[in-house]
Structure 1
Amino acid sequence: MASIKRRRQLLWTAGVALCALLAAGLALTWYSPSSEAPAEPVLIIGDGVSTPDDMAWVPPGIFQMGSDSKLAQANERPAHAVKLNGFWIDVAHVTNDEFTQFVEQTGYVTTAEKKPDWETIRVQLPPGIPAPPDDVLVPGAMVFVGTNGPVDLNDYSQWWRYVPGANWRHPQGPGSSIEGKGDHPVVQVSYEDAMAYAAWRGKRLPTEAEWEYAARGGLEQATYVWGDELMPDGKPMANYWDSKQGTFPVVSPKAGGAEGTLPARTFPPNGYGLYDMTGNAWQWVADWYGADYFGKQAAAKTPIADPQGPAQAYDPWEPGVPVDAPKRVIRGGSFLCNESYCLSYRPSARRGSDPYSPMSHVGFRLVKDAPAPAVKVVTRATDIP
């Protein structure tokens, strides 16, 4: 029984917001099945002339959101019918080069580059926690640092640190750089940063339902975005932690482990032409996170139309964090996800994260509300292998 409880705790704590750890780090420096099957996906990539550039069209339809798979965690259950309007979505993550252009043209300063605001930290902590000295509230962000050997997976503070000076330009801290990584997903961006970029581009973050519908690429209830086999023909299909190369979270040279993000479009796209919908970097979506939201949605007798998420966050599963602490949904998993810990490189996997806490494995992509394409297929040969 103890081992079952331990496993349950591991599954729920993996990859969730590390807001409590952020504060601690600062202080130490002091639904039912649908009978309507999705249509066969048609690849439509915008050309930047009559359709949005480098965005894929996801047609309207009904799909099964969530999962009843044996791999699914409680917050992914049960699968339930959702009906969506069509939309355009970025073919790939927003990259370092794209975010650089945004900053250069607007002068925007990201959350990680500003002095932390105690009020946004305090709401993630138990009542009564005193504010840390003002001089330890320095700009920085959460960084995955790994360990030198196997550790108790109940304590994620052993492989995450709040690192002063870490930000989108320096994802692992002051000694790191994005030089030569312009085509990698931008990380160390908060929900607020993603919203600012979206406004600049005239786009928006996808809803959680839109994200999952797009991620599935027309494959109804497949385990992964490419099908049910993890490595078809023995080939990896996403950037995640390969447990055969090392035990999570060990990153010593001998043990191998995570190497970080890879360039966007490294692996084949899904049925809609979308790259890296799982793996590489988690992706912010618009909804508040509700651990019990899918259960509530499944109570509906008809497909839910364009769900926007719960009215406020609810997560009773993260120890030391108030159940109603602000959290937005992140989707897709990252280079840190692995078989032994979070297994979140699946389209139904979901977590909640503090909207003000940038991290070294969280990025985003955007959607655009624009007319449906007038022609059946518009593609750019350079986009699809």
Structure 2
Amino acid sequence: MSIPHFGLQRLLTKLLLKLALWTVLLVGWSLPAFAQQGFVDNEILASRIANSIQQRIPPQYKALAISRIRPHDKQTRLNINELIDYTNVKIVRSRRFRVTDRSKLKLILKEQRIQLSEFVTPNEYKELGQILGVQVFVYGNVYPDSLMLKAIDVQTSSIVWADSFPLYDQRPNYILLNSLSGNFLESLSKDVEGLRAEKIRKVSFWSIGTPSDMDSEEVIDALTVVVSKNDLLQVVDRENLKLIFHEQKLNQSVFIDESQARRLGELYGVDAFVYGQITPRPDGRYVASLKMMSIFTGVIVWADLIKFSPPLDNTANLVNPFTKKIQQRLAPERSQGQVAIPGGVFLMGSGDPLYGNAAPERTLRLKPFLIDAQEVSNTEYLQFVEKKQHRRPVTWKGGSFGESQKDHPVVGIGWEDAKLYCQALGKRLPTEQEWERAARGPKGRRYPWEGDVFSANFAVTRESGAKQAASVFTRNRDVTPEGVRHLAGNVREYVADEYRPYSNSSSSSFERVIRGSSWAFSAMEAVGFHRGHTRPNLAWPEVGFRCAQDL
């Protein structure tokens, strides 16, 4: 039976329409899924890794190799080979380390019949280190939201460096782990001297039970990083312990068997194990019941209930929703022109020898606060002068400023003047910690923007060719993700603190801290951890300020 020509044509038309409809639906479903993966700029990520390695690996180590980075989550779109290649280049350019290339490492591993993606035993690390002339191997895991890396000493198998790098804008899971890590660090720091008195120097993680929405491996990695990064105790990586478990046929469980722990500790030189369980609560928060057991006595030498919470609004980007909620809670006149900075743990200071007064680099905790989105302008300061009958800036010729200068930052005032202005508005000068947290974010970036690159048009510094400050509303690269402008350049800024070394906070000082760079200073001062200082009674033609307040 033949099908008429017009019938065949109608049938083909229907089939094509159905095919087109299914194509649209499939594309519609797949595009959001692809978009959610985000894009990772490997060059920027490699710079951050290389800078961290250069600044934080102890100076006695001179040779390293990146042995492996494993994708823990198959959905993460990260070109690992490219990242390792770029990171090697960045490390070489720092001229501090001898770097063994991954291709050479692959060849030797092949000869030794070791897979690069597999766990490497301590003895194999030592053997490879001798063959390659390497003192430190860098390795790690890629999780959905972050990359966690560690460096292991080939002789002792102890972690000598560890760091965590967010792959995208802060996502809820990453922020949740940061909350847990920060609270764990705070608790452990209070008892670390007592642990050392108990001869606890080297620890490892046994096992931590987690609810279904958390990954036990990622939790242990995050806690390993925070302990190693802050030099509280030496850490033996749990990944290496897995090999010993298999070799010695020991069972791993959340509840520690004392005899097994002692046996494993003796094999690996570990003094104590951390273990525990994370439990969700009905109010959405979590409680981590964590303990540390000495292998010498079988006694629990440290324990705590660590409470931590997911992001307030359960979204990937906390900044704008957080600011909006705070501003809705406050009276409009109090929050106008300010940005809310979430509280929590952040990285402050630097180990860069060029910035000696910024050392040491360390992790601190801050309460949430508000900070002005831009510097105080001439117009705003004039209102204060007229209302309070206050003295005028020395840079106002004839006691006034021109129309073209009305939106420029006020300068030519002393530290006391800036303090009184903020107090008159019910505010205060930001502390040095608050200023640096606003400029560098929680992970301690180098500049207010992402990445370690500085260009003449990024900020108003001497490199830009500017002969004076720009309007406080000028838009350029010098803005934080939260929307705080001109923390790298335009004018330097007074903060509340007396100037003293971080290592001797009890010493007295007549001077006050100045932060940031300006049109008259260079890119060297534009880094977020640079510290300047001045006497409070002096006025400078390129030093201004902004205000902050508590939440």
Same fold (TM over 0.5): yes
Q: Which has the higher contact order (CA 8 A, sep 6+)?
A: 1
Q: Which segments of 5 or more consecutive residues in structure 1 lack a partner in the other structure?
A: 1-31, 113-166, 246-256, 297-308, 314-325, 371-385
Q: Which segments of 5 or more consecutive residues in structure 2 lack a partner in the other structure?
A: 1-160, 165-176, 180-310, 312-316
C-alpha displacement of 1:94:
0.5
1:201 correspondence with 2:425:
yes
The 3 A distance-change label for structure 1 pair 225 and 189 is same
C-alpha displacement of 1:169:
1.6
Contact 2:440 2:446 in 1 (8 A): no
Moved over 6 A (4+): 32-36
In structure 1, what is the Cα distance between the partners aligned to 2:339 and 2:456?
25
1:42 correspondence with 2:319:
yes
Corresponding residue SS for 1:312: coil
Q: How many residues align?
A: 235
Amino acid at match of 1:228: G
Q: 1:226 matched to which residue of 2?
A: 449
Match of 1:364 among 538, 542, 545: 545
Contact 2:461 2:520 in 1 (8 A): yes
C-alpha displacement of 1:199:
1.4
- Residues 87-130 of structure 1, C-alpha deviations (whole Å, 9 max, x = no match): 011111011010011111111114x6xxxxxxxxxxxxxxxxxx
> More helix per residue: 1 or 2?
2
Match of 1:63 among 324, 338, 346: 346
1:104 correspondence with 2:377:
no
> Given the two structures, how large is their TM-score scaled by the length of structure 2?
0.40
Q: 2:508 matched to which residue of 1?
A: 312
The structure whose Rg is larger is 2
Alignment of 1:165-314 (within 5 A): 167-170=394-397, 177-218=401-442, 220-231=443-454, 236-242=457-463, 257-266=465-474, 267-268=476-477, 269-290=479-500, 292-293=501-502, 295-296=503-504, 310=506, 312-313=508-509
The 3 A distance-change label for structure 1 pair 51 and 362 is closer
> Given the two structures, how large is their TM-score scaled by the length of structure 1?
0.56
C-alpha displacement of 1:265:
2.8
Segment drifting more, 90-99 vs 61-70: 61-70
Corresponding residue SS for 2:525: coil
C-alpha displacement of 1:312:
1.8
Identity %: 31
In structure 2, what is the Cα distance between the partners aligned to 1:175 and 1:201?
22
In structure 1, what is the Cα distance between the partners aligned to 2:381 and 2:336?
16
In structure 2, what is the Cα distance between the partners aligned to 1:203 and 1:34?
36
The 3 A distance-change label for structure 1 pair 192 and 34 is farther
Amino acid at match of 1:226: W
- Residues 241-294 of structure 1, C-alpha deviations (whole Å, 9 max, x = no match): 11xx7xxxxxxxxxxx5411001131252112100011011111011001x22x
Amino acid at match of 1:240: T
Match of 2:521 among 337, 340, 347: 337
Amino acid at match of 2:416: E
The CA RMSD over aligned residues, in Å, is: 2.8
Corresponding residue SS for 1:330: strand
Contact 1:187 1:361 in 2 (8 A): yes
C-alpha displacement of 1:179:
3.1
C-alpha displacement of 1:77:
1.5
In structure 1, what is the Cα distance between the partners aligned to 2:410 and 2:334?
25
The 3 A distance-change label for structure 1 pair 49 and 191 is same
In structure 2, what is the Cα distance between the partners aligned to 1:310 and 1:353?
19
Contact 1:41 1:271 in 2 (8 A): no
Contact 2:460 2:466 in 1 (8 A): no
In structure 2, what is the Cα distance between the partners aligned to 1:281 and 1:33?
36
